[in-house]
C-alpha cells in the first residue's frame, strides 16, 4: 500500500468552499481509478505551530500499490485538479509538498 500525503499552503484568499470543492473532486477520483482505497482531507490541527511551516491544510490518498499511484499521477482529471491546487497555493507549486510512504 502507498499513502500519498500532500501538505498545502493555500493562499489566504482561498475560502473553505473552494477547499471543500477541491477535496470533493479528489475524493471523486476513487470512482474513476479503482486502485484508490482511501481519501482524507482537512485542516492541519497540529499544536506544534512552529513546525507547520505554513502547511495549514493536507490530504492523503491511499493506493493499493505503486501501480495505482502511478495511474493517478498521469490521470487527466487528477492533473486538472492539481492545476487548481497549484493556482490556489502560495508560490504555486512551491505551496505543495508531497510525501509517499509504502506500508
For residue 6, the domain's CATH number is 3.30.70.100
**Length of the chain measured in residues:** 103
What is the Cα Rg of the chain in Å?
13
Give tens-digit pLDDT for 7-17: 999 999 999 99
Query: What DSSP string describes 40-99?
Result: EEEE---S-HHHHTT--EEEEEEESSHHHHHHHHH-HHHHHHHHHHHHTBTTGGGGEEEE
Predicted TM-score (pTM) of the model is 0.94
* Predicted local confidence at residue 35, as pLDDT: 97
Q: Note down the domain range covering 63.
A: 2-102
Residues of the chain with pLDDT under 70: none
Cβ pair 5, 100 in contact under 8 A: yes
Number of structural domains (the chain) is 1
Q: 97 pairs with which residues across the strands?
A: 7
Amino acid at each position: 500500500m502507498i499513502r500519498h500525503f500532500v501538505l498545502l499552503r493555500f493562499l489566504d484568499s482561498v475560502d473553505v468552499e473552494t477547499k471543500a470543492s477541491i477535496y470533493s473532486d479528489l475524493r471523486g477520483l476513487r470512482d474513476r481509478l479503482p486502485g484508490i482505497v482511501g481519501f482524507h482531507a482537512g485542516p492541519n490541527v497540529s499544536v506544534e505551530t512552529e513546525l507547520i511551516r505554513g502547511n495549514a491544510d493536507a490530504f492523503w490518498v491511499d493506493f493499493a500499490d505503486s501501480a495505482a499511484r502511478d495511474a493517478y499521477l498521469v490521470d487527466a482529471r487528477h492533473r486538472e485538479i492539481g492545476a487548481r491546487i497549484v493556482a490556489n497555493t502560495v508560490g504555486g507549486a512551491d505551496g505543495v509538498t508531497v510525501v509517499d510512504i509504502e506500508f
